[in-house]
A and B are shown apart, each in its own frame.
Chain A
Amino acid sequence: MATAPSQRFRMGLVHAALLVYTAISLVPVLVVLMNSFKARRDIFGSPLTPPLPETASLAGYRQVMAQGDFVLYFQNSLIVTVGSLIFVLLFGAMAAFAFSEYRFRLNSVLALFLALGIMVPIRLGTVAILQMMVAAGLVNTLTALVLVYTAQGLPLAVFILSEFMKTVPEDLKNAGRVDGLSEYRIFFQLVVPLVRPALATVAVFTMIPIWNDLWFPLILAPGEETRTVTLGAQIFLGQYVTNWEAVLSALSLAIVPILVLYLIFSRQLIRGITAGAVK
């Protein structure tokens, strides 16, 4: 192995390059998280050092908890995200089943009609969506957001799920039919459990943009009672821009849930992308 040292050297370069970029992507987030646990003087005095016993402080968190209604915002975000997610997964899986299982005249036309939504952003229909929500009396309700996010999430969900459902063996479904199961039971009892990994992938994909969206909460539900975390954080950060302890704590509070979620689901997410991207 005459090439071993140069091989090792090249590996070292690869690691060095990746580490530099990893630092670029992580350090900004870490700086904010770190400083949120420090007192005001130390946030400015030594922004790049971690909170030490003598500089640690929870003052920022206390202020956020006292001033902002972050608990309410979290609750709203949770309701909207989970609500939309359930509809996207249920309706999406049902439609995907119809497209992948049955042959009917409008199959490919309707599939194409749904696929349109992958390329065309729903945001461009905002003007009419707002009008519709006003007419239906749904402005400043979480229902409006759930409806919009369900519509937004469906196209990609149907697309990914139909690809997966095509891989469910035909024999299994036919055996169910021979045993007299209805098409609904075949779907719920045979197919859905088999595509659970795909459902998890779609769930992660759907969840992240919903949790993070600013546009629709800003337009459809800006009221104090219906604010999501993203909108709440935006407003809070705007108002208390001079109160650095509170701002950093608010930011951290908004980062942590999605961060935890990401760390739990990251393998699923990346597996989903690597499996679904190149078909």
Chain B
Amino acid sequence: MTDRPIARRRWHIAVFLAPALLVYTVVMIVPLFQTLALGLENVRDGATRFVGLDNFRVLFGDPRWSAGFWNAFQNNLVFFAFHMLVQNPIGIALAALLTVPRLRGVALYRTALFLPTILSFVIVGFIWRLLLSPLWGVAPSVLDAVGLRFLFAPWLGQEGSALIAVSLVSVWQFVGIPMILIYAALITIPSEITEAAECDGITGFKQFFKIKLPLILPTIGLVSILTFVANFNAFDIVYVMQGALGGPNGSTDILGTYLYRTFFGFQLQSGDRHMGAAVATAMFLFILVGVSFYLFVIQRRMRRYQM
């Protein structure tokens, strides 16, 4: 459009963009980089100095720090594994059930199944603490009713089971996300494809695994990376259910709670913002590695597969 004065229009672009870019840059991007920079400094002889990678040497190698850090990292991996192995398969299964042709009440099921996802961690954590508490005993009486009373134990209070219990609660809460994303992918599969499959006698389970699943692999990849970012950034569910120490005895401590304690201190531990920044930087790097792996390895391969 040559008849529009270009020079005048450029101002509009700046005006439209300025507020969003300003807030985003000042409140999010600059602090992110400042945090990374803070991780390279520490207090030496009463003055803040640049110490290079010293904080990371301490964090990864000095037993006073590294034991807790690697424990949190390991727990975080377990936490992530549970989401990948339990949450996402259940989500896929539910989505597959919801897209069964001629099923009634889909909207109702969808709404109900997605509901836990919108509740806050505080509520979810507390609901489950109450239900699983040996004091109130809803869980024991439910198990009693189905004849499985002997299975009951104070799961949240035992080192061996606490992390599993917390992971499963988080899975309970967030199963709606993979469900709805996969559901969205499934309903956009062109009907010609499924009809062609039906003509060839491929129906039901076989149709799902042979035809639909390969088609929704990119969405499963997206769900996996979203799960990864959310899990390695998690904090609330552990904080609410097991406290900032990730009890019992650090068995549910994940990177989020470790960051919180390092930065703000807790009980006898005093806060250290430089080490806190180092922990945040380490988390940032983990997430960056995961996201890059997804973008450059997984997503690229899937595109090729689709063509």
A residues sitting closer than 8 Å to B (CB atoms) are 10-11, 14-15, 17-18, 21-22, 24-26, 28-29, 31-32, 43-44, 47-48, 87, 90-92, 94-95, 97-98, 102, 104, 110, 113-114, 116-117, 119-129, 131-132, 147-148, 150-152, 154-155, 158, 174, 177, 183-184, 187, 208, 211-215, 219, 230, 233-234, 237, 244, 247-248, 251, 254-255, 258-259, 262-263, 266-267, 269-270, 273-275, 277-278
Contacts and interface: CB of A to CB of B under 8 A. Distances in A.
27 contacts: A17-B97, A21-B94, A22-B112, A25-B112, A47-B138, A48-B138, A102-B13, A117-B24, A124-B32, A124-B287, A126-B31, A127-B31, A127-B263, A131-B273, A132-B34, A155-B24, A177-B4, A212-B119, A213-B120, A214-B239, A230-B120, A259-B118, A267-B107, A270-B114, A274-B187, A277-B180, A278-B185
B120 A129 contact: no
Given A14-B100, A47-B137, A274-B187, A98 B235 contact: no
A98 B16 contact: yes
Contacts of B277: 127-128
A214 B27 CA distance: 18
Contacts of B163: none
Interface string B11-35: 0110111011101101111111111
Given A29-B116, A270-B114, A125 B34 contact: yes
Contacts of B138: 31, 47-48
Nearest to A90: B19
A113 B130 CA distance: 44
B27 A47 contact: no
Closest 9 CB pairs of A and B: A212-B120, A125-B31, A128-B34, A128-B31, A95-B20, A151-B27, A98-B16, A125-B32, A274-B184
A215 B236 contact: yes
A158 B28 CA distance: 15
A73 B144 CA distance: 39
Nearest to B176: A25
The prevalent SS among residues of B at the interface is helix
A125 B28 contact: yes
A154 B26 CA distance: 13
A151 B28 contact: yes
A110 to B, nearest CB: 7
Interface residues of B, number: 91
Contacts of A102: 9, 12-13
B13 A125 contact: no
A65 B204 CA distance: 54
A74 to B, nearest CB: 13
B126 A94 contact: no
Given A91-B19, A119-B229, 17 more contacts: A21-B94, A25-B116, A43-B136, A91-B20, A95-B17, A102-B13, A124-B280, A125-B35, A125-B280, A127-B35, A214-B121, A234-B122, A262-B118, A269-B114, A270-B111, A273-B184, A274-B187
A10 B204 CA distance: 10
A147 B31 CA distance: 13
Contacts of A11: 100, 102-103
A278 B188 contact: yes
Contact of A114 (B20, B102, B113, B233): B20
B21, B103, B172, B264: which has the most chain A beta carbons within 10 Å?
Answer: B21
Contacts of B291: 119
A28 B127 CA distance: 7
A120 B289 CA distance: 12
B119 A32 contact: no
Contacts of B26: 151
A101 to B, nearest CB: 8
Contact of B109 (A22, A117, A132, A251): A22
Given A18-B94, A214-B120, A255-B123, A128 B35 contact: yes
B212 interface: no
Given A22-B112, A128-B31, A278-B184, A208 B122 contact: no
B110 interface: yes
Contacts of B122: 212, 214, 230, 233-234, 237, 254
Given A28-B128, A234-B240, A211 B120 contact: yes
A233 B13 CA distance: 44
Contacts of A248: 130
Contacts of A132: 27, 30-31, 34
Contact of A25 (B27, B172, B276): B172
A112 to B, nearest CB: 12
Contacts of A127: 31, 34-35, 38, 263, 273, 276-277, 280
Nearest to A47: B138
A212 B97 CA distance: 30
A215 B28 contact: no
Interface string B255-298: 01001000110000000010011001101100110010000000
Nearest to A129: B31
Contact of A95 (B21, B109, B235): B21
Nearest to A219: B264
A147 to B, nearest CB: 5
A275 B127 CA distance: 32
Contacts of A120: 32, 284, 287-288
